[in-house]
């Protein structure tokens, strides 16, 4: 007679077959204990301040259940939760048909498009970070449990990459700031079903974000030791050409702080004028003219003033593409099984905001 009751191996645990039979794996490893000790170094009191100035304190007593589940949560979060697919594309469909049933979700897209590997590609890193930032601002409440897990797994890998390679820490700091601010507001809505999942799990995630922010705050940039040619050794016209290729004003300011020569080049009025013309239309200039003391237009101040009112052009080394003929979303260099006679005419680059719009139903 078949056994129809609950599995005796207790679903939810990992089991390994040995010579003596099935044995349950111990979920807590030394590495996991170290991670939990780091979390414990941060005060377990999370203060959430609302728009009205009122503060809600979640301390250890209020979050005993969260503390008990922390090790279990981090174990589950560190396990291989993603399924790896040979095809790096996903069919985007918004309605059921006779051939296809159901909908594609953000969780599926995270797996199919392999964002975990995409962040290792310097051309795609900024694109993925911007996408996660937009999700943090507007889509957290719509993420399923699987999508949440994939989201924070990818975020963890991004933080580790920045800590190891020290690549663009400002970008990830902005992402974590937006994410923590959004979570503080949403956690205050407990009881209103604003977040999918237990409130204690989200408090654990907020603690992890605070830990990441502290690690990035303490990040020390390694001084490169190189006896060869350096940036300062380049001719002025080459340094000027490098600055003209920047599309972000903050990057220009940061580079200008390296040497006095670069500072002089970074203050060039023509440089900031070109940057304004690249990102904004002339009609927008007329509404926010900022003259300098000499009567000239201060293009540097104009850029940052216009940035507050209008979105700047997004520039990425590589983006996702959408095939209008096949309704398939994919990375361009991986390709997809297109049936069009001329596939290149059907391709459309997808911005991070457009990506999110594809999965809104």
Name which residue leads in pLDDT, 2 or 355. 355
Distance (Å, rounded) from C-alpha 361 to C-alpha 359? 6
CA distances from 166 to 107, 115, 127, 160, 171 (A): 28, 20, 17, 9, 11
User: What angle, 0 to 180 degrees and rounded to 10, lies between the N-to-C axes of helices 199-217 and 30-41?
Assistant: 80
**Closest Cα to residue 194, out of 138, 150, 147?**
138
Report d(CA 232, CA 153) in Å as an integer.
Answer: 39
Cα distances (Å, whole numbers) of residue 261 to 73, 228, 255:
51, 19, 10
- Number of neighbouring beta carbons within 10 Å of residue 172: 23
Regarding predicted confidence, which is higher, 196 or 294? Answer: 196
Contacts of residue 205, Cβ cutoff 8 Å, sequence gap at least 6? 152, 183
Tokens standing for residue 163: 């800590």
What is the residue extent of each domain of the chain?
103-218, 248-309
Of 105-114, 128-137, 269-278, where does mean pLDDT reach its minimum? 105-114
| 57, β-bridge pairs | 47
Tokens read off for 250: 């903050």
Mean pLDDT of the chain: 75
| Contact by Cβ (8 Å): 281, 293 | no
Q: Give the mean model confidence (pLDDT) for residues 24-53.
A: 52
Which of residues 333 and 215 earns the better pLDDT score? 215
pLDDT, one tens digit per residue, over 69-116 is: 555 555 455 544 444 456 678 888 766 565 555 557 777 787 778 888
Low-confidence winner among 12-26, 173-187, 265-279, 330-344 (lowest mean pLDDT): 12-26
Q: What is the pLDDT of residues 41-80, one digit of tens each?
A: 544 455 555 555 555 555 544 455 555 555 555 545 554 4
């Amino acid at each position: 007679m078949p056994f129809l009751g609950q599995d005796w191996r207790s679903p939810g645990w990992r089991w390994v077959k040995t010579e003596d039979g099935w044995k349950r794996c111990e979920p807590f490893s030394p590495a996991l204990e170290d991670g939990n000790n780091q979390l414990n170094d941060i005060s377990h009191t999370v203060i959430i301040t609302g728009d009205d100035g009122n503060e809600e304190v979640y301390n250890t007593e209020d979050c005993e259940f969260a503390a008990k589940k922390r090790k279990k949560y981090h174990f589950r979060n560190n396990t291989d939760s993603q399924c790896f697919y040979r095809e790096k594309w996903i069919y985007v469909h918004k309605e059921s048909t006779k051939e296809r049933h159901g909908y594609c979700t953000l969780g599926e897209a995270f797996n199919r498009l392999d964002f975990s590997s995409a962040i290792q590609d310097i051309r795609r890193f900024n694109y993925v970070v911007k996408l996660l930032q937009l999700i943090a601002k507007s889509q957290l409440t719509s993420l399923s449990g699987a999508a949440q897990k994939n989201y924070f797994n990818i975020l963890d890998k991004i933080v580790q990459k920045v800590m190891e390679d020290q690549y663009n820490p400002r970008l990830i700091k902005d992402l974590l700031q937006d994410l923590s601010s959004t979570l503080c507001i949403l956690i205050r809505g407990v009881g209103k079903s604003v977040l999918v999942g237990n409130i204690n799990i989200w408090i654990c995630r907020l603690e992890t974000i605070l830990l990441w922010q502290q690690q990035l705050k303490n990040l020390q940039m390694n001084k490169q030791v190189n006896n060869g040619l350096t940036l300062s050794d380049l001719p002025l016209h080459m340094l000027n050409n490098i600055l003209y290729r920047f599309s972000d004003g903050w990057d220009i300011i940061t580079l200008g702080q390296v040497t006095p020569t670069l500072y002089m080049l970074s203050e060039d009025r023509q440089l900031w004028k070109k940057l304004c013309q690249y990102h904004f239309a002339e009609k927008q200039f007329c509404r926010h003219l900022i003259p300098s003391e000499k009567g000239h237009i201060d293009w540097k101040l104009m850029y940052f003033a216009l940035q507050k009112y209008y979105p700047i052009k997004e520039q990425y080394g590589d983006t996702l593409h959408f095939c209008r003929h096949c309704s398939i979303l994919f990375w361009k260099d991986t390709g997809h099984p297109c049936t069009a006679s001329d596939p290149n005419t059907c391709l459309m680059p997808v911005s991070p905001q457009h990506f999110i719009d594809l999965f809104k139903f």
